Structure 1
Amino acid sequence: MKRLLVLDIGGTSIKYGIWKDDELSGTASIETPKTWQEMKQIILKLTKQFDEKIDGVAISSPGAVDTETGIIYGLSAIDYIHRFPIREELSNLVKLPVSIQNDANCAALAEVWQGNAQAVKNSAYLIIGSGIGGAVVIDKQLKAGTHLFGGEFGYMIIDSQTNQTLSEAGSPVTMARHFSQEKNDGQHYTGREVFTLADNGDALAKIYVDRLLHALTIGAFNLSVTFDPEVILIGGAISQNEQVIKEINKRLKALIKEKEADGLTPTVKACHFLDKANMLGAVYQFYLENDPKENP
């Protein structure tokens, strides 16, 4: 079994650790650097930091990652990682094989490999935070699409009158910001606090939570009729709220019945993995690219 340096690159921090003996160890984080030159120096330093020999580097990254060419397209908070052969440059730098995969896709791969999608062939993912990312897995294979937009469900328009997208309507961060503005009591609420207020009977909070759940239900319905997955897995902090998962399941069943989409039986579940999902998925991607026969 290979020993890998595993990196989860985010806009504010880079999580890192070592994959060995079938588990992650030595996990920690460092602030995301401001330049590509600094990023390279950090990665090079990390490959030499651990006592044991490293056999490769597995990376989870924002952006539209082309795993064939090793180039990251699209946009992200880290503008200097895009549109050049980044995988090749890093591999030449550290003198090791390097794999890179989109962070939402990594979360999905972690679920397929060791999480709540192990037992199913077809699954779809909504990774919910300040926006909404996602992934599509058919026959246990990740489907990135022709232009690497497979799974970018946040762009899905769910209101034909306003052209509101799922990211705009289904993000707890956005919900909390709009709620705070309308509440106008001098406080800046988090999504979690808005849910708590709704549970405690706050009328305005109830309206905002209902809108968010409605948007996520429409998103789940559209995924169901498009891909017919056996399971739709929700990631992000909101997935830890069992009542949210229960309510979306309830609403989704009602919507399927209302639209007479007979035969659809998707189940909405929370992702099994939270903070380590991207790192585990990055490990899985490394084996898919570099040694499928040794796939753990």
Structure 2
Amino acid sequence: MKAYMVFDVGGTYIKYSVMNEGAEKLASGKVPTPQDDLEIFLEDIHNIVNEFENAFDLRGIAISSPGAVNTKTGFIGGASAIPYIHGVCMTDLIRQRTGLPVTIENDANCAALAEGWIGAAKDTDYYICIVIGTGIGGSIVMNHSILRGANLHGGEFGYMIMNDASRSSGKKDLQSTWSLTASTRALVTELEAKKSLPMGTLTGEEVFHLAESKDVAAQESIRQFYKKLAIGIYNLQYSLDPEKILIGGGISKRKEVTEGINAELSLLKDDTSTLTIEVEACQFDNDANLIGALFHFLKVHEPSIIS
């Protein structure tokens, strides 16, 4: 049976799975991500591959990674919590260690590709994924391909300016961006300020628990959170006009989040803005990056499998 070694490289752990061509996990595990040593990172990858290469017919290695991944060159631009992965050809380094073909793709893009392959956007030609977390990111997908943009910034929705950006000392007010006004972190920060709590006191989950216990300030912060998200989503629908909009990130698993955003979106419909705009939650959670990384590998090396 054909099998593929798939890695999801995160700031804390490197998750891995041996998968078949249908994204079924045959084996899996995780190891701590080395914090400051490329050599240890490469050796960990090599050791994991060695562990499974005798038991499985490994055909290649698929990697999900943070950063501005150039899928053609194997270099990772931008910045991430793993500084040593930037500025080197990661695909060449891993190929030299393992002797196997290697592909690499950005983690958010992997999550989006997973949804289009066998998830919530299956059989959808044109969709966007919005990932809501400490910031807001995402991907634009057309015909199972990521729209990357001239500067590899396609899908960086969080940089949209959502209100009047005042200028101080010649710099734009970053509090005006979507990431810093409508992310989960923004929700938490707003409620901490309302309650005069030290920064870092609350989590997103705790904000929702407070709202469920009838905390008026938490309920109002969540209502504003939905409204700010809806405004950005409205803008994306009218600028990109996708067939489907998916939301991801840990908070998307709460049914009330999707319902709350859709309720706010319905209020934006009027005589001029006649589109019915709705969002759906992503299907996959922890395995999304692994599944999407495998899809990317198959598309590059064995396209007949997914056609």
TM-score w.r.t. structure 2 length?
Answer: 0.90
**Is the Cα–Cα contact under 8 Å of residues 197 and 205 in structure 1 kept in the other structure?**
yes
CA–CA distance in structure 2, aligned partners of residues 284 and 25 of structure 1: 16
Instruction: Tell me the equivalent position of 1:25.
Output: 26
Instruction: Tell me the equivalent position of 2:289.
Output: 278
For residue 141 of structure 1, report the CA deviation from its aligned partner. 2.5
Instruction: Tell me the equivalent position of 1:7.
Output: 7
* Structure 1 stretches of 4+ moved >6 Å: none
CA–CA distance in structure 1, aligned partners of residues 191 and 73 of structure 2: 43
* CA deviation profile, 1:213-251 (whole Å, cap 9, x unmatched): 122111211110111012110111111111110111121
CA–CA distance in structure 1, aligned partners of residues 184 and 79 of structure 2: 22
More deviation, 143-152/189-198: 189-198
Q: Which amino acid aligns with 2:289?
A: N
Work out which of the residue numbers 105, 114, 122 in structure 2 matches 1:110.
Answer: 114
Instruction: Tell me the equivalent position of 1:133.
Output: 137
For residue 257 of structure 1, report the CA deviation from its aligned partner. 2.4
CA–CA distance in structure 2, aligned partners of residues 265 and 67 of structure 1: 35
Instruction: Tell me the equivalent position of 2:92.
Output: 88
Instruction: Tell me the equivalent position of 1:150.
Output: 154
- Give unpaired runs (5+ residues) of structure 2: 166-172
Work out which of the residue numbers 139, 156, 177 in structure 2 matches 1:165.
Answer: 177
CA–CA distance in structure 2, aligned partners of residues 152 and 292 of structure 1: 28
**Is the Cα–Cα contact under 8 Å of residues 230 and 266 in structure 1 kept in the other structure?**
no
More deviation, 178-187/283-292: 178-187
**DSSP 3-state at the match of 1:256:** coil
CA–CA distance in structure 2, aligned partners of residues 266 and 143 of structure 1: 22
CA–CA distance in structure 2, aligned partners of residues 139 and 52 of structure 1: 31
* CA deviation profile, 1:58-86 (whole Å, cap 9, x unmatched): 00000111111111111111111112221
**Is the Cα–Cα contact under 8 Å of residues 6 and 58 in structure 1 kept in the other structure?**
yes
Q: Which amino acid aligns with 1:26?
A: A
Q: Within 5 Å, which residues of 2 pair with 1:116-265?
A: 116-161=120-165, 162-163=173-174, 164-184=176-196, 188-257=201-270, 260-262=272-274, 264-265=275-276
Instruction: Tell me the equivalent position of 1:46.
Output: 48
CA–CA distance in structure 1, aligned partners of residues 195 and 7 of structure 2: 40
Q: Which amino acid aligns with 1:11?
A: G
Q: Which amino acid aligns with 2:184?
A: P
* CA deviation profile, 1:122-172 (whole Å, cap 9, x unmatched): 111111111111000123422111111011111111122455211112221
For residue 21 of structure 1, report the CA deviation from its aligned partner. 5.8
Instruction: Tell me the equivalent position of 1:16.
Output: 16
**Is the Cα–Cα contact under 8 Å of residues 228 and 266 in structure 1 kept in the other structure?**
no
**DSSP 3-state at the match of 1:158:** coil
**DSSP 3-state at the match of 1:88:** helix
Q: Which amino acid aligns with 1:267?
A: E
CA–CA distance in structure 2, aligned partners of residues 97 and 244 of structure 1: 41
**Is the Cα–Cα contact under 8 Å of residues 6 and 282 in structure 1 kept in the other structure?**
yes
Q: What is the aligned-residue RMSD (CA, Å)?
A: 1.8
Q: Which amino acid aligns with 1:15?
A: K
For residue 20 of structure 1, report the CA deviation from its aligned partner. 2.0
Q: Which amino acid aligns with 1:55?
A: R
Instruction: Tell me the equivalent position of 2:170.
Output: none
Instruction: Tell me the equivalent position of 2:71.
Output: 67
- Give unpaired runs (5+ residues) of structure 1: none
> Identity of aligned pairs, percent?
39
